[in-house]
C-alpha cells in the first residue's frame, strides 16, 4: 500500500527542492533548525519587493488618503502626500516614505533615505518601521550590517504585536548565531506569530509540535497548524497537510482531500507535491489511475531534482506512443518547445 512519510519543518532554509531520497522516506521538508532563511531575515534584492507590509492607515482620515494611494499603486501620489505629513512628525507617514524609498516605488531606490525614515518612525514607536529597519540592518542596506541592533528592533516590534518581527526573532533563536540557540523561546515567539495569522510561523510551529522541538510533541496541534497555513496558501504547508490527511496523522484520514491539495501544490510548482501526485495517479490509490498525467508530473518533478526510481520504471514500461504523450504534456507545462 502506498504510504506517505513526511517530516515537516520550520521554514528555516530557502525553499529549494529537497534532495532525492528513497520514495518511502520522502518528506515535504526536512527539519533543519540550525539554518536561517535569508529570505525571511533580509529584504529581497528586488527593489520592487517589500521588506515590510505597507503601514496601516492611522486614525487620522487624511492618512487614509496616503494609504489608499499606496494600495492603488499610485506611489508617486502616496510619496507626495506622505512627505509633508512625515516632516510634520506623523510616524505612519514616515514609515510610508521608508517603504517607498526602500522598494523604489514612485521614487528612485534610496536605502539611506529609507533607513533614515524608518528610524525616525521607529524612534516614534511605529512597530512596522522597527521591523523594516531591523531587516535592513540584517541585510546591511542603508548602512552597515548590525545584527545586534536588529535584534533589539525585532524584540521591540514583536512586543508591540508585529507578527513578522516575532517570527524573524524566533528564527534567530533557532539559528543560534546572532542569539544563543533557545528552541523553547523560539517556540514561544512562533506561537505569538502563528496566533496572529502568520502562515510561515504556523508552518514552523507545526514542525516543532510534530517533532517535539521546544514543545511537547503533539501531532494534532501540528495538523491544525498545517491546516491553517495551508488555507493561507503556504505551499509547504499544503504538501505537509496533504500528507497528514493521506495518512491520517494527527487528523482524520481523508485521502480525497489530500489528493486535491497535492494537485493544488503541484500546480504551484512544488516538486514534492508533483512527485506525490504522480505516485497517486500511477498507482490509483485514492484517485483514478491516469499514468499519462501522473508521469507528466514525474517528469516535471525530475527537472527540479525530485527523482523517483519507481516512477522511472513506470515511465520505461509505457509504450513509445504514451511516452511521447507524457513528454509532450511535460513540455507544455514547462513551456519548452
Whether 130 and 122 have beta carbons less than 8 Å apart is answered as yes
Of the candidates 275, 277, 271, the one whose C-alpha atom is nearest the C-alpha of residue 258 is: 277
Give Dmax (Cα) for the chain: 74
Question: Which pLDDT belongs to residue 326?
Answer: 98
Q: Which domains does the chain have, with CATH numbers?
A: 37-160 (1.25.40.10), 271-337 (no CATH)
Report pLDDT digits (tens) over 122-161: 999 999 999 999 999 999 999 999 999 999 999 999 999 9
Dist. CA 50–CA 1, nearest whole Å = 46
The pLDDT of residue 25 is above 50: no
Report the pLDDT averaged over residues 62-72: 84
Q: Is the pTM of this model over 0.85?
A: no
Counting beta carbons within 10 angstroms of the beta carbon of residue 247, is it exposed (0 to 12), middle (13 to 18) or buried (19 or more)?
middle
Counting beta carbons within 10 angstroms of the beta carbon of residue 189, is it exposed (0 to 12), middle (13 to 18) or buried (19 or more)?
buried
The pLDDT of residue 56 is above 70: no
Report pLDDT digits (tens) over 79-126: 999 999 999 999 999 999 999 999 999 999 999 999 999 999 999 999
Question: Which pLDDT belongs to residue 34?
Answer: 31
Report pLDDT digits (tens) over 250-265: 999 999 999 999 999 9
The pLDDT of residue 38 is above 90: no
Question: How would residue 31 be classed by pLDDT, with cut points 50, 70 and 90?
Answer: very low
Q: Which residues of 201-226 are buried (b: 16+ CB within 10 A; e: fewer)?
A: bbbbbbbbbbbebbbeebeebbbbbb
**271 phi, psi to nearest 5 deg:** -60, -35
Number of neighbouring beta carbons within 10 Å of residue 287: 20
Q: Which residues of 112-145 are buried (b: 16+ CB within 10 A; e: fewer)?
A: ebbbbbbbbbbeeebbbbbbbbbbbbbbebbeee
The pLDDT of residue 311 is above 90: yes
Q: Which residues of 88-109 are buried (b: 16+ CB within 10 A; e: fewer)?
A: eebbbbbbbbbbbbbbebbbee
Question: How would residue 41 be classed by pLDDT, with cut points 50, 70 and 90?
Answer: very low
Amino acid at each position: 500500500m502506498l504510504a506517505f512519510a513526511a517530516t515537516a519543518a520550520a521554514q528555516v532554509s530557502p525553499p529549494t527542492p529537497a534532495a532525492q531520497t528513497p520514495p518511502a522516506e520522502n518528506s515535504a521538508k526536512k527539519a533543519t533548525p540550525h539554518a536561517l532563511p535569508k529570505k525571511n531575515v533580509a529584504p529581497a534584492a528586488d527593489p520592487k519587493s517589500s521588506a515590510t507590509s505597507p503601514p496601516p492607515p492611522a486614525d487620522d482620515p487624511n492618512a487614509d488618503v496616503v494609504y489608499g494611494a499606496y494600495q492603488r499603486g499610485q506611489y508617486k501620489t502616496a510619496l507626495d502626500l506622505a512627505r509633508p505629513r512625515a516632516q510634520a512628525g506623523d510616524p505612519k507617514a514616515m514609515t510610508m516614505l521608508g517603504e517607498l524609498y526602500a522598494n523604489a516605488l514612485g521614487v528612485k531606490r534610496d536605502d539611506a533615505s529609507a533607513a533614515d525614515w524608518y528610524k525616525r518612525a521607529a524612534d516614534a514607536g511605529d512597530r512596522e518601521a522597527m521591523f523594516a529597519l531591523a531587516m535592513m540592518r540584517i541585510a546591511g542596506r542603508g548602512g552597515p550590517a548590525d545584527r545586534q541592533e536588529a535584534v533589539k528592533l525585532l524584540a521591540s516590534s514583536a512586543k508591540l504585536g508585529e507578527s513578522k518581527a516575532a517570527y524573524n526573532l524566533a528564527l534567530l533563536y533557532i539559528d543560534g548565531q546572532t542569539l544563543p540557540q533557545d528552541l523553547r523561546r523560539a517556540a514561544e515567539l512562533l506561537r505569538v506569530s502563528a496566533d496572529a495569522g502568520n502562515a510561515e510561523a504556523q508552518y514552523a510551529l507545526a514542525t516543532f509540535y510534530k517533532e517535539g522541538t521546544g514543545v511537547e510533541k503533539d501531532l494534532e496541534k501540528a495538523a491544525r497548524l498545517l491546516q491553517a497555513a495551508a488555507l493561507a496558501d503556504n505551499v509547504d504547508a499544503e504538501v505537509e497537510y496533504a500528507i497528514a490527511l493521506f495518512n491520517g496523522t494527527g487528523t482524520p484520514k481523508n485521502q480525497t482531500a489530500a489528493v486535491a491539495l497535492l494537485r493544488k501544490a503541484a500546480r504551484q510548482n512544488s516538486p514534492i507535491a508533483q512527485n506525490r501526485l504522480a505516485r497517486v495517479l500511477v498507482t490509483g490509490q485514492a484517485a483514478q489511475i491516469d499514468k499519462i498525467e501522473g508521469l507528466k508530473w514525474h517528469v516535471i518533478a525530475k527537472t527540479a531534482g525530485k527523482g523517483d526510481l519507481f516512477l522511472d520504471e513506470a515511465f520505461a514500461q509505457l509504450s513509445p506512443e504514451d511516452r511521447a504523450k507524457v513528454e509532450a504534456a511535460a513540455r507544455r507545462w514547462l513551456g519548452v518547445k
